[in-house]
Structures are given as structure tokens and as C-alpha cells.
Amino acid sequence: MEIKLEKFSKSFGSVKVIEELDLTVGNGEMIALLGPSGCGKTTTLYAICGIHRVSAGRILFGDRDVTALPPQEKNVGVVFQSFALYPHLSIYENIAFPLRIRKEKNADIERKVREISATLYMEHLLERRPGQLSGGQQQRVALARALVRRPDILLMDEPLANLDASLRLEMRTEIRRIQQESGCTSILVTHDQVEAMSMCDRIALMNNGVIQQIGTPDDMYHQPRNKFIAGFIGNPPISFIDGAVENGQFTSQGMSFGLPDNLKKASLTSGQKVSVGIRPEHLQPGSENPVAGEVTFIESQGREILYDLKLGDGQMLRSIQSGARTCKLGDRVTWSINVNAVLFFDAQDERILPA
């Protein structure tokens, strides 16, 4: 079932949290709502499932307007950030809860609970109480409870936030598998971009209650629409250098290079202030488009090594290189920029697109 938010706004008292947000999630699609803490992800989710009343705008499930519908009348499964299991009920009863509310027959309930707990490898936990489960197990119970009544829509609010790294990896694939099998339209709230990129069809990147860009993970990475997106997506993050365009060249006090061909035709005037974004993998040892600086930080990340390069004017560039360490702290080095991959932003932080 398709989810459509039309000019959805939400304010708490005088505080406007979301303003005129438009978002469409296709039938069976899984979209990630990505953004920094406090940007309004949970608020959007709560509005979709009906917990929050909408201040303005419309919410549609398929063709049906569900803006004013209370949560009880929407068939939406929600996995809460805190899991929100019922502490006084056994795991079996936790999962059975939505079915009991619908007054389904005991035999049906039994069959459905067994089925979903088999899918999530948790049949041995059914007799326990939530307090007796580990974080990962609770997370699976929360997922089972959301899925057991075959929801039209599945909303997950940072479901993996409380898990350790290996469990997180395992659950990522598991959630994706179940979502694809059940085919229900899903929104996954997260502020972890790796999670968003690896699990979802598309990403909606939010900041300050506004969706900055919607696209595939690749889109977001290579074609960010503004500086915020470029800075948010990518780990280790992109580095920005402030400078100006002069005579077909980008110049700052610490470095300069010729503009790439496809950008020369863009409406860049001479003397215009711009900011360039250079991802760590685009600064490598070499001699083309050289940039010189001092190595001020080295961090080994296992397969790769992360360097910080301090330019003459004090601005910093980041570089990630595979292979053996080529320099040591304090060395002055000259590395090469892959100019064709450099991102240009104007004074309003908007991307300057190639012509």
C-alpha cells in the first residue's frame, strides 16, 4: 500500500517541528528516514501511524485519506525505538496482543504466533517475560508483534540502535528479508547512514523538519543536492574547503586547481565565492592536481588508513588510503585531488551542478 504525505506539518504548541513535508513511499517499498537527532523523524512516524494528530496537510494510504484516523483504526505495525514491550505479559502474550484485541480465535492466535516466532528464530523464548530477554531478543519480539497481524504498513523507529555491531549486521539482513517476503510498505527511521544505505530502496534525508533529498543511496552519495547532504552522507565524512573561482581555477590560500571541464560551462562568474567538497577517497598519493600539506593525524581502520592533511591556510582535508602507511605524523606531503569527483557548492550551500 502506498503512503503519501502531502504538505504534512506538525507543531507542538508554538514549536514548529515539521513544515509542509511531502513524501511518497511506493507500494512494497522500504524507505529510510535519515537525519540528525531532533530533526523530526519520530514525529513524522508518529503522525503516520496516528499517535500524533496532524497540524496541517494530508496523509493518504493508497487512495484513502487517513489524516484524522486514530491509530486503532489503521493497520500499521510499529517497532518503537525503545521496543515498548508489555512488561507484565509473557513473550507469547506480547506477540498475541494485537490479535487478542481483535478478538481472534485462540487457535488462530496460536498458529500465527508460532509462525512468526519461527520466522524470527525465537520459539524458545515464548514463555519468558521481556525483562528476561537480551536487547536483541527484545528487538525481535517487537518486530514479531508488529508483523503478526499482517500490517499494511510497517514503521520502524531506530530498531537497531540498542544492538551491538554484529547483532546489528545480522538483524539488518533479517529485517530486510522479512520486509521483502511480506511485501509491506515500510519506513525505517534511523540516523545511521550505513544502516539506511544497506537496508533500503531509497533514502529520505531530513534536516530541521524538511526533507532535503530523496533518492537511492548512490544518488545521495554522488549527487548530493546541498552541502548538508554531502556532509551527512559518507563515512569518514567529506571535507569542505572555502575559496573562490578565478580564471577557470578554484583558488584558496592553501590550494588551487583547474575546474573540471563539465563545470567550466556552468554559470560561474569570476571571483564568485564557492566551497568545494572533497571525499577522502578522492585525495590520494599522485602528482596530478597536487595539494601540499602537513599530516596531522593518522588513524588505522584496519584495511584502510585515515589521514588528516593540514593545508597552508589551516583548512583541513581528509584522505583514506589502502595499503601500507606511506608517511608519518608531521611529514609534509604532496597528494593529488581527483578533480572530476570534487563537489562544488555556492554561497547558499546549494550544489553547483555540472552543465
Ligand X SMILES: Nc1ncnc2c1ncn2[C@@H]1O[C@H](COP(=O)(O)OP(=O)(O)OP(=O)(O)O)[C@@H](O)[C@H]1O
Round to whole Å and give the CA distance between 177 and 199.
10
> SS3 for 116?
helix
Residue 128's binding partner among Mg ion, ligand X, another protein, none (Cβ under 5 to 8 angstroms by kind) is: another protein
Shortest distance (Å) from residue 333 CB to Mg ion: 42
d(CA 260, CA 308): 24
106 binds another protein (CB under 8 A): no
Residue whose grid cell is 569518514: 236
Nearer to another protein, 16 or 129 (CB): 129
Give least dist CB 60 to ligand X, A.
21
Q: For 183-289, where are the alpha helices, taking DSSP H only?
A: 193-199, 217-222, 227-232, 261-264
- Asked if 13 is part of the footprint of another protein (rule: CB under 8 A), the reply reads no
CA–CA distance, 195 with 188 (Å, rounded to integer): 9
**Count of residues near another protein by CB under 8 A:** 35
Task: State the DSSP code for 326.
Answer: -
Closest to another protein by CB, 133 or 203: 133
Q: How many angstroms separate the Cα of 89 from the Cα of each of 37, 104, 112, 156?
A: 32, 18, 17, 22
Distance of closest approach, residue 134 Cβ to another protein, in angstroms:
5
Please name the residue that has the C-alpha cell 485519506: 65
Among ligand X, another protein, Mg ion, none, residue 224 binds (CB under 5-8 Å by kind): none
Note whether 133 binds another protein by CB under 8 A: yes
- The answer to whether the beta carbons of residues 99 and 112 sit under 8 Å apart is yes
Q: Is the dihedral angle over the CA atoms 247, 253, 257, 260 positive or is it negative? A: negative
Q: Any bridge partners for residue 132, and if so which?
A: none
285-302 in b/e burial notation, b at 16+ Cβ within 10 A? eeeebebebebeeeeeee
In the range 41-70, which residues lie near Mg ion by CB under 5 A? 42
Residue nearer to ligand X on the CB measure, 79 or 120: 79
**Is 101 a binder of another protein (CB under 8 A)?**
yes
Q: Which residues from 59-98 bind another protein, rule CB under 8 A?
A: 70-72, 74, 76-78, 80-89, 97-98
Judge contact between 196 and 217, C-beta under 8 A: yes
CB of 64 to another protein, least distance (A): 17
Binding at 16: pick from another protein, Mg ion, ligand X, none (beta carbon under 5-8 Å per type): none
**CB of 15 or CB of 324, closer to ligand X:** 15
At which residue does the C-alpha cell 552522507 appear?
Answer: 233
Q: How far is the CB of 35 from another protein (least distance, A)?
A: 20
Nearest residue (CB) to ligand X, 83 versus 257: 83
Residues 290-349 that bind another protein (CB under 8 A): none
118 binds another protein (CB under 8 A): no
Q: Which is nearer to another protein, 39 or 133 (CB)?
A: 133
Pair 158, 189: CB distance under 8 Å: yes
Residues 5-44 that bind Mg ion (CB under 5 A): 42
Cα 335 to Cα 295: distance, rounded to the nearest angstrom: 11
Give the residues lining the site for another protein (CB under 8 A): 46, 49-51, 70-72, 74, 76-78, 80-89, 97-98, 100-102, 124, 128, 131-134, 137, 145, 149
